[in-house]
Amino acid sequence: MTTDFLILHSRRSSVVLECPPDEAPLWRYWGPRLPDSATPGTALRDTRPLPSFMLDFDQPLTVAPTFGVGWFGQSALLAHRDGQDFAQAFTRCDVEWLQQDAAGSALCLHLHDDVARLRLDLTLRLDAASDVLVLQSVLHNLGDAPLDVQWLAAGTLQLPGHCDSVRSYAGQHVHEFMLQVDPLTRSLWRKESRRGRTSHDCFPGAVVTTPGTTDDTGLVFGAHLAWSGNHQQTVEWLHDGLYQWQMGEWLAPGEGRLLPGQALHSPELVATCSTAGLNGLAANFHTELRRRLNWPGGAMKPRPVHLNTWEGFYFDVHPGPVQELATAAAAVGIERFVLDDGWFHGRHHDRAALGDWWPDETKFPNGLGALIAHVNALGMEFGLWVEPEMVNPDSDLFRAHPEWALQIAGRPLLTARNQLVLDIARPEASDYLFEKIAALLAAHPIGYLKWDLNRDLAPAGLANGTAGYRAQIHAAYALMDRLRAAHPNVEIESCSGGGGRIDFGVLRHTHRVWTSDCIDALSRVDIQRGFLQFFPPEIMGAHVGTAPSHTTGRTQSMAFRAAVALPGHLGVELDVRQLNDADTAELRGWIDVYKQLRDRLHHGRVWLGEGGDGLRWQLHGDEAASDLVLLVLRPLPSSHRYTPTLRLPMLDPAARYRVREVLPAGTVRPTGRHHTAPFFDAINTPEGLVLDGAWLAHAGLPMPRTQAETAFLVRLERV
Ligand code: GLA
């Protein structure tokens, strides 16, 4: 008996589907690269005796499992037509190859249900270089009555049965990317977010591990929904001991209504697997995101050092002090000066003014021109904070158009941070926002918008009384695109009370994210490590904040604050005028080091790891491991008499490396025999020490004996 298989290969992974006639393709394999010649050999059903008390046929997992074929697990589709057509079954599949070349493979499976009169077009794209598999579903209503869709999976993935845990990220405002590790058992794992944005609370993505997974070894799978709205993901144990993994948009009641002839497009599901552990997986996601980012001019420019006014001034942005701050900022090496909240009409606190996007007449009677000219004259670019999707009830905009707020007639308006959400799917509302923001961009050389979104959507009622979560996200993307088309040189940051809108969807339209409103360096260590599992460092907004930190009250040294922020897109968020001379010099020293290292930090690989005695380290380097920057952080006090060496298994054992400590000007390294030893003096010289790659990989690099909340920065270059 002959069986048709669809086989897609990338550099290090393969996908194998089986195509029996008259049904959706069966999942056979997703995992490490198989040889070109490998095939399953036999049809899946020919290998599986039928158990008792089952349907009289075998129904394995398909790429789009549905109710109507006798599938008892999570369905990829839940829909009905006024109660009819509730159990779909795809009984025909047309395969359309979209791509089969050195860059990758892509195909579209056209799945037909002629009884329920619908078609699902499921696209799978496997990128040859990054091993990233992107799935997307488009459901067409071919019937003559509306189809109500409750759930449409962006994709359904098969995971091997020896997967043992799922790593996901929970959180809240100022606590993003809190790692949760749940064991996979013979049950259903589910995560949902209905907050109307990506959310601080529930990241739309996860990593599934197999036994023995480490940072650098072991088979791991990762998936992320490229979407900034509601979402749902499940991992479910199946009767053959495998798991299925679904991810998609969580649709509010009524949101998935398709009129005859209409289609519902799911977001993209971005998935990948690696045999090189968590760091291997991160590298794949980083490659994919870098491919997607849409930079002004077509390529990323070196990431300019920011100064953001928020924690220095809050709403109190008056031209005199702000100009003084700009002068002080330029003197320490700042390259982009961002005027945060507080600049627009009537904005003196968080209770009023959102929506009135023109300069406040009391603070800036002659507009922003003089400030921007001052900033530019100092050699810095100017950036501006906006929160377009929001309105305060106390604003001229709301007084003129109370009907523009998302609301449900007859129910009270639910405010958050005293604000409401504008229904920007209304063309007149998005036209208003476009005109107001475009006018500012046209009038001034503004190179950057910090685009905020400071509340959840609750409830997102449109003018016709239906749910508008989905419409809101598409309208936000469209507004960003419209502004970018009109002003192509402007970069946008996605901020949402810190990290409430960080995802591959919004990053098609933006260029940086504000990782968290928490700038405490100790808290940032974990937040940024969670972030780096999916996102590359160059888009990670990372600032040197105040001491004590405004969100935690903890105080850290300038060196620790700067070192933690260094590998990301560096910024400063404090009143530089208030720093003493030593801190000013040290900050300038770290900014200089950032400028020297940013090309290395922001391209290539990132390896994260944990050393002995509580050390946390990250290594940024090229794939060939010939030019590397190692940042070692000690968050907590040492409990060892002698600090263990740090093994760096990614180094080339056949190579030798010049090892030099990077010590920014102004930084004082502790001296005395309890803190240092001759080795550390030797690497703190222009010539450093040349050490053996195999030794560093297997025996390790000596580590200094340091106090808590300190950092050690080292450059390793192949000689
Ligand atoms: C949010 C952002 C902050 C700041 C404030 C301004 O909280 O995350 O960085 O811009 O809004 O109101």
Give the model confidence (pLDDT) of 593-616 as tens digits.
999 999 999 999 999 999 999 999
Q: What is the mean pLDDT of the chain?
A: 97
Q: Which of 201, 456, 517, 520 is catalytic?
A: 517
Between the CA of 484 and the centroid of ligand 1 the distance, in Å, is 22
State how far the Cα of 279 lies from the Cα of 302, in Å rounded to an integer.
24
Give the model confidence (pLDDT) of 321-333 as tens digits.
999 999 999 999 9
Whether ligand 1 lies within 6 angstroms of the CB of 447 is answered as no
The whole-number pLDDT of residue 692 equals: 98
The 3-class secondary structure across 259-295, one letter per residue, is CCCCEEECCEEEEEEECEHHHHHHHHHHHHHHHHCCC
Give the model confidence (pLDDT) of 69-100 as tens digits.
999 999 999 999 999 999 999 999 999 999 99
The whole-number pLDDT of residue 347 equals: 98
* pTM over cut 0.85: yes
At residue 669 the predicted structure's pLDDT band, cuts being 50, 70 and 90, is confident
Residue written as token pair 């479910």: 236
What residue owns the CA closest to ligand 1's atom 4? 310
User: Residues, the chain, total?
Assistant: 719
The whole-number pLDDT of residue 368 equals: 98
Whether ligand 1 lies within 6 angstroms of the CB of 534 is answered as no
State how far the Cα of 126 lies from the Cα of 554, in Å rounded to an integer.
46
Which residues does 52 contact at the CB level (< 8 Å), separation at least 6? Answer: none
Between the CA of 308 and the centroid of ligand 1 the distance, in Å, is 10
Atom of ligand 1 nearest to the CA of 340: 10
The whole-number pLDDT of residue 674 equals: 78
Is-contact 199 227, C-beta < 8 A?
no
Structure tokens, 472: 């809101």
Q: What is the DSSP letter of 542?
A: E
Phi, psi angle pair for 75, to nearest 5°: -90, 150
> What residues form DSSP beta bridges with 662?
none
Query: Which amino acid belongs to residue 614?
Result: G
At residue 2 the predicted structure's pLDDT band, cuts being 50, 70 and 90, is low
Query: Which amino acid belongs to residue 220?
Result: V
What residue owns the CA closest to ligand 1's atom 7? 497
The whole-number pLDDT of residue 3 equals: 75
Structure tokens, 578: 């208030």
State how far the Cα of 496 lies from the Cα of 196, in Å rounded to an integer.
12
Extract long-range pairs of 29-33: CB within 8 Å, 24+ residues apart: 29/158, 30/133, 30/157, 30/158, 30/159, 30/221, 30/273, 31/160, 31/219, 31/273, 32/219, 32/273, 32/275, 33/9
Least Cα distance to 499 among 195, 703, 192 occurs for 195
Judged by DSSP in three states, 144 sits in coil
Whether ligand 1 lies within 6 angstroms of the CB of 344 is answered as no
What residue owns the CA closest to ligand 1's atom 12? 341
Least Cα distance to 307 among 269, 355, 340 occurs for 340
Is-contact 360 344, C-beta < 8 A?
yes
* Ligand 1 mutation pick, 495, 496, 512, max ligand atoms within 8 A of CB: 495
* Average pLDDT value for residue range 52-64: 96
101 counts as catalytic? no
* Average pLDDT value for residue range 626-635: 97
DSSP letters spanning 622-676: -TTSSEEEEEEEE-S----SSPPPB--TTS-TT-EEEEEE---TT-----STTT-
- CA–CA–CA angle 271, 600, 169 (5° rounding): 35
Residue 279: CB atoms within 10 Å: 23
* Average pLDDT value for residue range 261-272: 98
* Average pLDDT value for residue range 463-487: 98
Structure tokens, 452: 């905020």
Query: Which amino acid belongs to residue 512?
Result: R
Cα-based distances in Å from 169 to 202, 220, 235, 438: 6, 16, 15, 36
Least Cα distance to 586 among 666, 668, 670 occurs for 666
Between the CA of 616 and the centroid of ligand 1 the distance, in Å, is 29
Residue written as token pair 């829909």: 79
Between the CA of 188 and the centroid of ligand 1 the distance, in Å, is 37
Q: How many Cα atoms sit within 13 Å of 416 on the Cβ side?
A: 13
Residue 545: CB atoms within 10 Å: 27
> Pairing state of beta strands 540-544 and 263-265?
unpaired
State how far the Cα of 379 lies from the Cα of 331, in Å rounded to an integer.
10
Q: How many Cα atoms sit within 13 Å of 559 on the Cβ side?
A: 23
452 counts as catalytic? yes
